[in-house]
Amino acid sequence: MPDLTAPEGFKIAAAAAGIRKSGLDLGLLYSDRPATTAAVFTRNAFPAAPILVTRQHLKVSGNTSRAVLVNAGNANAVTGEAGMNAARQCAAELAKHLGCKPSDVFISSTGVIGRPLPVEKITAAIPSLVREMNPGGTDSFSRAIMTTDTVPKVATSRADGVRMLGFAKGSGMIHPNMATMLSYILTDAKIEFAALDKALRYAVDRSFHSMTVDGDTSTNDTVAVLANGASGVSPSPERFTAQLTEVCQTLAKAIARDGEGATKFVELTIEGAPSDEAAREIGRTIALSPLVKTAIYGCDPNWGRLICAVGNSGIPLSGEEVELFIDDVPLINGDLKVASEKLKSKEVKIRVSLHSGSGKATVWTCDLTEEYIHINADYTT
Amino acid sequence: MPDLTAPEGFKIAAAAAGIRKSGLDLGLLYSDRPATTAAVFTRNAFPAAPILVTRQHLKVSGNTSRAVLVNAGNANAVTGEAGMNAARQCAAELAKHLGCKPSDVFISSTGVIGRPLPVEKITAAIPSLVREMNPGGTDSFSRAIMTTDTVPKVATSRADGVRMLGFAKGSGMIHPNMATMLSYILTDAKIEFAALDKALRYAVDRSFHSMTVDGDTSTNDTVAVLANGASGVSPSPERFTAQLTEVCQTLAKAIARDGEGATKFVELTIEGAPSDEAAREIGRTIALSPLVKTAIYGCDPNWGRLICAVGNSGIPLSGEEVELFIDDVPLINGDLKVASEKLKSKEVKIRVSLHSGSGKATVWTCDLTEEYIHINADYTT
């Protein structure tokens, strides 16, 4: 059983604030000292109010935080100036109770778009959150940030005296409104902002940005890492980056496995591409193709669809030479009956070999099923 | 009843060559004089052999053709040098029977990827194709090029003495292997290549490139226009372009209506974008969002998904001000019950108003249903 307590110096809490009909819907991550904070936010043109406010806070605080406050049930997105004020009020109230500055608060929301954030419900729940925070709140927090997720997502790691504890929410598909992807990684490593930021961007490219369910990104997507230095250990940037990447990959794979209506988890390996970036782009194009995803669902080793998707990626290749494998069964001129049997597994591995360079990438996705349509068509606003 | 006979100087034929199990599968379009020919081909990185051969032919002939030969049932794609030779053999055999050069033949294929083209079956059918070609072969040709299409797609137009007759195949979704989109427009207008090419690119941007079903483009996609000048009429470039655009739009809408498993035809109008191109890109992003498409299928006026898709287009906007309408019912702060009723129609019109410029575009798509998954998952290679 992995150690799910918070890394040194962190405390965790969750509450049922009544933002949604029932259950935990408000979470708090707290550091007893300023934590260096790096974050990656949505590329959507309409970032939600909490993202805009948090960006300002990180600027003011010089990329440090003392707390993360997350609510589920309301995205506080497309809410204009009122939404900005609502996010600021929540942060200020939490700062008052923690004895820190509002700019020390990192704030996130997930849920329905375009409805006013119920600020009073959140501020009313803050005193008990602060009172009850403790190093063992991991499970409650991981549940408080769930929306369409069917399972909570937590990853933990210890290496050379550095601990990491990561949370994520997201099921890729969006019900009722959004597939907001949120992730927070707490670590007691001692690390400068520049190195932390570089490590996070590297890890996110190889995890959350390499995981795709339906291609829709939300107004609220956020990944943040808080390093409070409480372990006193300063890992080398290489070691820290490797550790962070592994934690992020564990969380990203958990999201792909939890894709709405998915019956299969798919790992796509692209090799022989002009560059790693090109390999990732080809992998993403395949992972987003409805035709590839439905073929996998139907256990159909339809390699023409894979070839088409490779060709649709926009990446120039040096030739037509492509090899395709399911596990180690070749598809082109291969035994398609054996390939079809391999596709019946819950975990499918597809390898695309391009002979156009030495670029490699791994991308995770899931199949596309009638159940996805059913879930997403039947929600009524 | 529109006049479906060929424009002046053209003849049409179709045959059952046995490339697929049954039915018509080979089509011929013939001009009694050299026809100026402009074409737009797939952007897929693996263009099929007939596309590579046809590009060479157009270069040699100086963008003129005497005939178009199209087979269904086999894509002649990912077939390497053997596929190139197969396409050349078919073109040479047809040229021999028509008394023209091989480079006067425009050749296309659609069907299964990666299997050798049955050249003998095609060459064996050519004599009867040539013998039987006539101005009335429209219906047979339109059926010979169908694959997953449920209806043949033909458009006709007459304006100021210029006739056009257009054919298309494609149902957007791809069963068994590809959603190859093919379209040929015959016209008796007299027009120079440069003007014809410009008109075709304008028309394609506003029709086939503005129609999207699942975003998968194929190795064989082709749109060509043949102008043989037999009417003796030289229309102004503006008039010709308008006429060609209308014919292409009629065909593109017919493809979107025939989307696999689709229950609704969707017309998206984007206005107030930074440019027409930006508007088209935003429209395409919305049209490809599985979440938007499933919401339309479920008659759910879930405007958060529309906003998210706008934000995912990558187009920078000057502000957050967006208005959304279904027919003329506003969605944001609107009566969602009325909007939901409107969504029950077989033809849904969605308008997105962005307040970021004067760019406009119209994009056509269809909804995403369980039936699409069913059709595409259940094919077995």
B213/B139: higher pLDDT: B139
End-to-end CA gap in chain B: 41
Classified as helix, coil or strand, A365 is strand
Contacts of B324 (CB under 8 A, 6+ apart): B303, B306, B307, B330, B331, B332, B350, B351, B352, B353
pLDDT over 60 (residue A380): no
Record: contact B370-A373, CB cut-off 8 A: yes
Structural tokens at position A300: 């159909």
Contact (Cβ atoms closer than 8 angstroms) between residue B178 and residue B219: yes
Q: Which of B145, B180, B40 is nearest to A304 (CA)?
A: B180
Cα–Cα dist A174/A101, whole Å: 34
Q: Which of A329, A323, A333 is nearest to A341 (CA)?
A: A329
Region A305-321: mean pLDDT is 86
What ipTM describes this predicted complex? Answer: 0.78
A118/A261: higher pLDDT: A118
pLDDT tens string A88-113: 999 999 999 999 999 999 999 998 88
| A267: DSSP letter | E
A 236-255 residues inside an 8 A Cβ radius of B = none
- Residue in chain A nearest B368 by alpha carbon: A373
The confidence band for B257, taking pLDDT boundaries of 50, 70 and 90, is: confident
Phi–psi pair at B323, nearest 5 degrees: -115, 140
Record: contact A46-B311, CB cut-off 8 A: yes
If you write DSSP's letter for every residue of A124-166 in order, what string do you get? HHHHHHHHH-BTT-HHHHHHHT-SS-SS-EEEEEEETTEEEEE
Best-predicted range by mean pLDDT (A43-52, B62-71, B248-257): B62-71
Q: Which of B227, B148, B310, B95 is nearest to A77 (CA)?
A: B310
For residue A213, the model assigns a pLDDT of: 64
pLDDT tens string B43-66: 888 899 999 999 999 999 999 999
pLDDT tens string A223-274: 999 999 999 999 999 999 999 999 999 999 998 888 777 889 999 999 999 9
- Longest CA–CA span in chain B (Å) reads 68
The rounded percent of chain A whose pLDDT value lies above 70 is 96
- Give the gyration radius of chain A's Cα atoms: 21
Q: Can A180 be counted among the known catalytic residues?
A: yes
Region B174-200: mean pLDDT is 84
Cα–Cα dist B222/B213, whole Å: 17
Region B355-364: mean pLDDT is 94
The confidence band for B23, taking pLDDT boundaries of 50, 70 and 90, is: very high
Q: Which of B122, B204, B224, B212 is nearest to B170 (CA)?
A: B212
Burial A179-208 (b: 16+ CB within 10 A, else e): bbbbbbbbbbbbbeeebbbebbebbbbbbb
C-alpha angle with apex B109: B105 to B115, nearest 5 degrees? 130
Determine contact: A289 vs chain B, CB below 8 A: yes
For residue A308, the model assigns a pLDDT of: 87
Count CB-CB contacts under 10 A for residue B299. 19
The confidence band for A275, taking pLDDT boundaries of 50, 70 and 90, is: very high
B187/B259: higher pLDDT: B187
B 160-219 residues inside an 8 A Cβ radius of A = 173-174, 176-179, 214-219
Give the rounded distance of the alpha carbon of A123 from its chain centre: 27
Residue A347 is inside which H or E element, if any? Answer: strand A347-353
Region B14-42: mean pLDDT is 96
Mean pLDDT of chain B: 91
What pTM did the predictor assign? Answer: 0.82
Residues in chain B: 381
Determine contact: A344 vs chain B, CB below 8 A: no
Taking the CA of residue A131 and the nearest CA in chain B, the distance in Å comes to 36
Residues in chain B within 8 Å Cβ distance of A295: 376-377, 379
Region B16-23: mean pLDDT is 94
